[in-house]
Amino acid sequence: MPVDPITVSVVQHRLHGIVEEMGEAMLRTSYSQILNSSRDFSTALADPRGRLVAQAEHVPIHVGALPFAVRAVQAVFEGRIRPGDVFLLNDPYRGGNHLPDLTAFVPVFADGRHLFWSINRAHQSDIGGATHGAYNPAATEIWQEGIRVPPLRLYDAGTLREDVLDLLALNVRHPRDFKGDLAAMIGSARLGARRLEALLGELGTETALEAVEAVLDGAERRVRAILAGWPDGVYRGEAVLDDDGHGRTDVTIRATVTKRGSDLEVDLSESDPECAGFVNSSYPNSYSACVVALAYLIDADIPKNDGAFRPLSMKVREGTVVHPREGRPVTLCTNHCGQEIIEAIVKALAPACPERAMAGWGRRFRVALKGTDPRNGRPFLWHLFQARPGGGASSAGDGWPAAGEWQAAGGIKFGSLEVHEVRFPLFFARHELRPGSGGDGEHRGGPGAILEMRIEVAEPAVANTAGDGVRHGACGILGGKDGAPHDYRLRSADGSERILRTKEVGIVVRPGDLLVARSGGGGGWGDPARRSAAARARDAAEGYVQEAPEGGR
């Protein structure tokens, strides 16, 4: 007898509850700002075949790559996986997204069988390499970006391999935070394993497994029903990166999407050749970007699991920016060109599902600052997440203001300014929306942010940048206009300024320098001529279309 639908619904919601609880545990126990404030981590459950069973609503680009990572761990340790084991991986060429995203795997057993994996993938504040902060814009090979971790056993039947932990911690700049974050990741994954074991015990293993299969099959049916309603055809879209950080400009992602019945094939093989810099996207990351694009075009309440993504396939060509040869640098790929892959696919499919497609979200422009806190003499590493770009508009209405980039929608958070000022030698002088930055349209793109922040160090600090979007703003679709690009500057106490590029290292930050960030807005949706007079009046009244005066408060 098939499992009854009520049990299937209970299992679906229990699985979702488990991964969400894993995320709460991670948030409350991790050490680094990038995790406990900005929430740059994801939690998931998968089976030994690499099928995604459940994921929390954290960082979407993480999760679509996890099946590749599970299969890599299985391939190395098949037949040698035991209760109490913990495995690690970050290598982008073996199932990782990029090196900063370290993944912890805890096996789940029932009736003596290995049935599931409980997984936590979390972005480390530092992963070694030639520069601080886990991004190296100067890298021309992956070995300059940080330590590569292939499938690796960290706990052996419950016993920590301390020599392995020491090896990893020795290769990062903040070993205390690294060890604390790793412990939080493992604790989160172990919590998920305990909760899943309890579910298997309550329902009985076979009933629970049948219910999981029904959850996956149900998600597939719902997605196929949506896709079947779109017109068959071949659709094309493009997105362009500013540069690769090594002199090459206008790197183009080309997506040809073929829709037949309820199947989607995304062909990225005509994208530009691989780059010298770190904008290349590893194969798992490129597939994950395709998954994210599809996830944004289906109903929000459909579980984002293996079943939901069965209708999707991807074609790429080795040697391109979306499938580089092993050894190429890839660290920026979760943002760029991951975001451009998503953008190209959504632009391509917009004519097939205009009511579901959204315009482009502003691109990421991140700054990592390393220095010494004069209040306590301790070294610090701070990542900028406050100057968020605007969200893209859709048929439902205007884009969200200062919502973040596409990759992190619903995931990475702003973080409290007051907490940052307590934890780091920073003072936020100005933080508000950037008028005029959203792309025009029937529905307007969300505005970006204006941030002015003083760095209150006693000795010079050093920064690096990693991002895109100072030449190309977020795309408008279906007649909507592009959002404004970024403008980031470093203003010295004497009033002089330097424009920050999106990919540079070794930026000297002197005591009292002011970071002035004007982030880009989201793209507009639909013909601007169709925007209502009432909406135009509201834009003007609320200051969305009038440039704010220069200078801080």
pLDDT in tens, 79-109: 999 999 999 999 999 999 999 999 999 999 9
Check: CB of residue 288 under 8 Å from CB of residue 63: yes
103: phi then psi, degrees, rounded to nearest 5: -120, 135
Tell me which amino acid residue 92 is. P
CA-CA distance, 370 to 351, in Å (whole number)?
A: 46
Return the domain boundaries, the chain: 5-219, 358-553
Which of 340, 345, 511, 542 minimizes the C-alpha distance to 426?
511
Number of H helices, E strands in the chain: 11, 20
Tell me which amino acid residue 328 is. R
Please determine, for residue 546, whether its predicted confidence score (pLDDT) is greater than 80: no
Amino acid 345: pLDDT: 98
Amino acid 98: pLDDT: 96
Check: CB of residue 113 under 8 Å from CB of residue 206: no
Structure confidence by residue, pLDDT tens digits, 426-450: 999 999 999 999 999 999 999 999 9
199 membership: H or E segment, kind and range: helix 175-203
Which of 121, 110, 146 minimizes the C-alpha distance to 131?
146
CA-CA distance, 59 to 295, in Å (whole number)?
A: 12
Structure confidence by residue, pLDDT tens digits, 41-66: 999 999 999 999 999 988 889 989 99
534 membership: H or E segment, kind and range: helix 533-541
CA-CA distance, 145 to 486, in Å (whole number)?
A: 25
CA-CA distance, 130 to 509, in Å (whole number)?
A: 19
Section 411-419 average pLDDT: 78
Amino acid 433: pLDDT: 95
Section 246-251 average pLDDT: 97
DSSP 3-state assignment of 290? Answer: helix
**What does the block give as tokens for 273?**
């050749």
Which of 515, 498, 511 minimizes the C-alpha distance to 453?
515
Percent of the chain at pLDDT above 90? 91
Amino acid 193: pLDDT: 98
Amino acid 415: pLDDT: 74
Amino acid 385: pLDDT: 79
CA-CA distance, 394 to 415, in Å (whole number)?
A: 26
Distance of alpha carbon 29 from the chain centroid? 21
Q: CA 535 → CA 392, 429, 451, 540, 543, distances in Å?
A: 17, 31, 27, 9, 12
Structure confidence by residue, pLDDT tens digits, 502-540: 999 999 999 999 999 999 999 999 999 999 999 999 999
Please determine, for residue 409, whether its predicted confidence score (pLDDT) is greater than 70: no
**What does the block give as tokens for 455?**
């760095």
Q: What is the pTM of this model?
A: 0.95
Three-class HEC string of 473-486: CCCCECCCCCCCCC
**What does the block give as tokens for 346?**
């959504």
Q: CA 330 → CA 71, 272, 369, 390, 522, distances in Å?
A: 21, 15, 21, 25, 25
- The better pLDDT of the pair 414, 189 is held by 189
Please determine, for residue 405, whether its predicted confidence score (pLDDT) is greater than 80: no
Least confident of 130-134, 192-196, 547-551: 547-551
Distance of alpha carbon 242 from the chain centroid? 19
Amino acid 552: pLDDT: 34
Structure confidence by residue, pLDDT tens digits, 341-382: 999 999 999 999 999 999 999 999 999 999 999 999 999 999
87: left (phi over 0), alpha (psi -120 to 50) or beta: beta
CA-CA distance, 158 to 149, in Å (whole number)?
A: 20
Structure confidence by residue, pLDDT tens digits, 146-183: 999 999 999 999 999 999 999 999 999 999 999 999 99
DSSP 3-state assignment of 516? Answer: strand
pLDDT-derived band of residue 494, with 50, 70 and 90 as boundaries?
Answer: confident
CA-CA distance, 448 to 404, in Å (whole number)?
A: 9
Amino acid 1: pLDDT: 66
**DSSP letter assigned to residue 176:** H
Query: Across the strands, what pairs with 155?
Result: 86, 160
Amino acid 548: pLDDT: 40
Please determine, for residue 410, whether its predicted confidence score (pLDDT) is greater than 70: no
CA-CA distance, 378 to 352, in Å (whole number)?
A: 55
Which of 526, 522, 525 minimizes the C-alpha distance to 544?
522
CA-CA distance, 48 to 484, in Å (whole number)?
A: 45
Q: Are strands 312-315 and 507-509 parallel, antiparallel or unpaired?
A: unpaired
* CB proximity list for 198: less than 8 A, separation 6 or greater: none
CA-CA distance, 184 to 30, in Å (whole number)?
A: 5
Tell me which amino acid residue 497 is. E
**What does the block give as tokens for 115?**
């049935």
